[in-house]
Structure 1
Amino acid sequence: MQLTDVPGESPHFVRSVTEMGDTRDVIASEDIYASNGTKLLAKGARIDSKQFEKLTRYKLSAPLDQVLSSDRAVDAAMLAIEFDRILEHDATYRQLLSRAGDPRQLKHCTANLRLHSTIELRLTVMMDKHTEMFEHTLRTAIIAFACAQRMGIPAADFPAVLMAALCHDFGEMHTDPRILDQSHQVTAEERRFVHVHPVTGYVLLKDLPGFPAAASKAVLQHHERLDGSGYPHALHGEQIDRLARIVAAADVTETVLRRLDMQRLEMLYRINKPRYDGDVLAILRDLLQTQAGQPVDTGPVADPSARLNHLSDLLQAWFDLRSMLEQRASADAPGSPLAFLFKRMASVRSLVLQAGFNPDDMTSMLAWIQDDPEVLAELRSMLDEMDWLLADLANEIERRSPELNGLSQAALKGLMQHLRPEIH
Structure 2
Amino acid sequence: MSASESSPDGTAAQQRPEDNSHYLRAVTDMADHCQVMTQEALYTDRGIKLVDKDVRVDSALYDRLVRYKLRGHIDDHLAVQDMVGVPALVHEATAQCEQDTLAYLLVHTLDGMAVERLLAPVRSLVLPHALAFKLTVMREQHHSLYVHSVRMMLVSIYLGLKSGMNERECVHLAAAALLHDIGTLHLDPIWHDSSTRVTGAGRKELMAHPVTAALIVQAQNVYPRSVAQAILEHHECMDGSGYPRGLQGEQISPMGQILLVAEVASAFFEKYANEAAAQRLSLTLRMSHRKFPAALVACLLPALNIRAVQASLHVTSAQVHDLIELLSQTFADWQARSDALAPALLAEGSGQACAFVTQRLATLQKTLFEAGSHPRQQAEALAYLEGDEQGLAELALLGREALWQLQSIIDATHSRWPRLQGGGEGEGDQAVAQWGAAVAQRMGQAALAQGS
Calculate the TM-score normalised by the size of structure 1. Answer: 0.90
Distance in 1 separating the partners of 2:138 and 2:191: 17
Q: Does 1:87 align with 2:78?
A: no
Q: Does 1:136 align with 2:127?
A: no
Find the partner of 2:407 among 391, 409, 421. 391
Decide whether the 8 Å contact of 1:226 with 1:240 is kept in 2: yes
Paired residues for 1:73-222 under 5 Å: 73-90=83-100, 92-101=102-111, 102-222=114-234
Distance in 2 separating the partners of 1:211 and 1:66: 18
Which residue identity lines up with residue 317 of structure 1 in the other structure? D
Decide whether the 8 Å contact of 1:179 with 1:190 is kept in 2: no
Decide whether the 8 Å contact of 2:315 with 2:392 is kept in 1: no
Paired residues for 1:5-404 under 5 Å: 8-90=18-100, 92-101=102-111, 102-258=114-270, 259=273, 261=276, 262-289=278-305, 291-292=306-307, 294-301=309-316, 303-324=319-340, 327-328=343-344, 331-332=347-348, 340-356=356-372, 359=375, 363-401=379-417
* Counterparts in 2 of 1:33 and 1:403: CA distance versus 1, 3 Å: same
Decide whether the 8 Å contact of 1:393 with 1:419 is kept in 2: no
Decide whether the 8 Å contact of 1:148 with 1:246 is kept in 2: yes
Which residue identity lines up with residue 304 of structure 1 in the other structure? V
Residue 145 (structure 1) shift:
0.4
Residue 288 (structure 1) shift:
3.6
Residue 409 (structure 1) shift:
2.1
Decide whether the 8 Å contact of 2:155 with 2:266 is kept in 1: yes
* Counterparts in 2 of 1:80 and 1:41: CA distance versus 1, 3 Å: same
* Counterparts in 2 of 1:352 and 1:114: CA distance versus 1, 3 Å: closer
Distance in 1 separating the partners of 2:171 and 2:124: 9
Question: In the alignment, what sits opposite 2:440?
Answer: 420
Question: In the alignment, what sits opposite 1:409?
Answer: 429
Decide whether the 8 Å contact of 1:337 with 1:403 is kept in 2: no
Decide whether the 8 Å contact of 2:44 with 2:68 is kept in 1: yes
* Counterparts in 2 of 1:361 and 1:272: CA distance versus 1, 3 Å: closer
Which residue identity lines up with residue 346 of structure 1 in the other structure? A
Residue 89 (structure 1) shift:
2.4
Decide whether the 8 Å contact of 1:34 with 1:60 is kept in 2: yes
* Counterparts in 2 of 1:314 and 1:92: CA distance versus 1, 3 Å: closer
Decide whether the 8 Å contact of 1:326 with 1:332 is kept in 2: no
Which stretch shifts more, 10-19 or 155-164? 10-19
Distance in 1 separating the partners of 2:195 and 2:375: 31
SS at match of 1:275: coil
Distance in 2 separating the partners of 1:149 and 1:269: 20
Residue 324 (structure 1) shift:
4.7
Distance in 2 separating the partners of 1:264 and 1:16: 34
For each residue in 1:227-248, what CA deviation from the matched residue of structure 2 results, as whole angstroms up to 9, or x when unmatched?
A: 1111111111111111111111
Which residues of structure 2 form unaligned runs of 5+? 1-8, 446-452
SS at match of 1:368: coil
For each residue in 1:200-256, what CA deviation from the matched residue of structure 2 results, as whole angstroms up to 9, or x when unmatched?
A: 111211111212321111111101111111111111111111111111111111122
For each residue in 1:350-396, what CA deviation from the matched residue of structure 2 results, as whole angstroms up to 9, or x when unmatched?
A: 23323546656864443322321111111221122222211111111
- RMSD over aligned Cα, in angstroms? 3.0
Residue 76 (structure 1) shift:
0.9
Residue 30 (structure 1) shift:
2.6
Decide whether the 8 Å contact of 2:44 with 2:71 is kept in 1: yes
Decide whether the 8 Å contact of 2:345 with 2:352 is kept in 1: no
Residue 270 (structure 1) shift:
1.7
SS at match of 1:264: helix
Which residue identity lines up with residue 207 of structure 1 in the other structure? A
Decide whether the 8 Å contact of 2:38 with 2:78 is kept in 1: yes
Decide whether the 8 Å contact of 1:312 with 1:362 is kept in 2: no
For each residue in 1:151-179, what CA deviation from the matched residue of structure 2 results, as whole angstroms up to 9, or x when unmatched?
A: 00122211111111101111111222223
Which residue identity lines up with residue 16 of structure 1 in the other structure? A
Distance in 1 separating the partners of 2:132 and 2:115: 24
* Counterparts in 2 of 1:292 and 1:38: CA distance versus 1, 3 Å: farther
Which residue identity lines up with residue 222 of structure 1 in the other structure? H
Decide whether the 8 Å contact of 2:181 with 2:209 is kept in 1: yes
Which residues of structure 1 form unaligned runs of 5+? none
Which residue identity lines up with residue 153 of structure 1 in the other structure? M
SS at match of 2:37: strand
* Counterparts in 2 of 1:324 and 1:60: CA distance versus 1, 3 Å: farther
Which stretch shifts more, 163-172 or 252-261? 252-261
Decide whether the 8 Å contact of 1:97 with 1:142 is kept in 2: no
Decide whether the 8 Å contact of 1:168 with 1:219 is kept in 2: yes
For each residue in 1:25-44, what CA deviation from the matched residue of structure 2 results, as whole angstroms up to 9, or x when unmatched?
A: 21222322223433222232
* Counterparts in 2 of 1:325 and 1:105: CA distance versus 1, 3 Å: same
Which residue identity lines up with residue 343 of structure 2 in the other structure? Q
Which residue identity lines up with residue 431 of structure 2 in the other structure? A
Calculate the TM-score normalised by the size of structure 2. Answer: 0.84
SS at match of 1:27: strand
